[in-house]
Amino acid sequence: MRLRLAALLLLTALPARADDAAACRDGIATIKAELAKSPSEPVASTLRKELRIAERELGEKEYDECLDAVRDARKAMGR
């Protein structure tokens, strides 16, 4: 019974993680696009920092932390 419950919980979590991974990759693309627009230096500095964090967390498959970095970058962009 416990094994079935654990398997069910794992299977229901997989689509959410896939959605988070896609949102993370989209967020990274958004940050890169904003950096390409040459924002002011304080904003660019924040974006570079958050981009580094997001890319690292994507590589570590820590999507929630990647999304936190993307949210912080969007705040810096004024969105």
pLDDT < 50 stretches in the chain: 13-14
How far from each other are the two terminal CA atoms of the chain, in whole angstroms?
47
pLDDT for res 79: 75
d(CA 27, CA 9): 27
- Helix %, strand %, coil % for the chain, to 5? 85, 0, 15
- The domain locations on the chain are 17-77
Place of tokens 């997989």: 14
Angle between helices 2-36 and 63-77 (to 10 degrees): 30
pLDDT for res 3: 60
